Amino acid sequence: MSKVHVKKGDTVVVLSGKEGLRGETGKVKAVMPKEGMVVVEGLNLIKRAVRPNPRNPQGGFIESEAPIHASKVMPICPSCEKPTRIRKKVLPDGTKARVCAKCDGVLDTK
């Protein structure tokens, strides 16, 4: 089991971090459980220099997301639309679900 509390596809809010990143929301693009980091779509963009290549003959800079420490993000519940903690729950039909600790809304099932 990974210690990262969010999953790919979750919408998260950044709780702490540098100015301009704090309070931003986005969708988790990738989880790096070993590092305890997540990559969030459109957040924490860094510019990287690229050498000219066939796709980008001029070279130059591309923007890509740098990983954010998972402890700095919190999932947003799609039901109550608030940042929340996630609980695990077994539904009456036996399905395991991740539910919102605040409103009990189901985030997803597996």
User: By the criterion CB under 5 A, which residues form the site for Zn ion?
Assistant: 77, 79-80, 100, 102-103, 105
15 or 46: whose CB is closer to Zn ion? 15
48 or 85: whose CB is closer to Zn ion? 85
CB of 101 to Zn ion, least distance (A): 8
If you search the block for the tokens 């997803």, which residue do you land on? 108
Rounded to 5 degrees, what angle do the CA atoms 75, 5, 38 make?
80
21 or 106: whose CB is closer to Zn ion? 106
CB of 74 to Zn ion, least distance (A): 12
CB of 70 to Zn ion, least distance (A): 20
Distance CA 22, CA 17 (A): 6
For residue 74, give the H/E element and its range. strand 73-75
N residues, the chain: 110
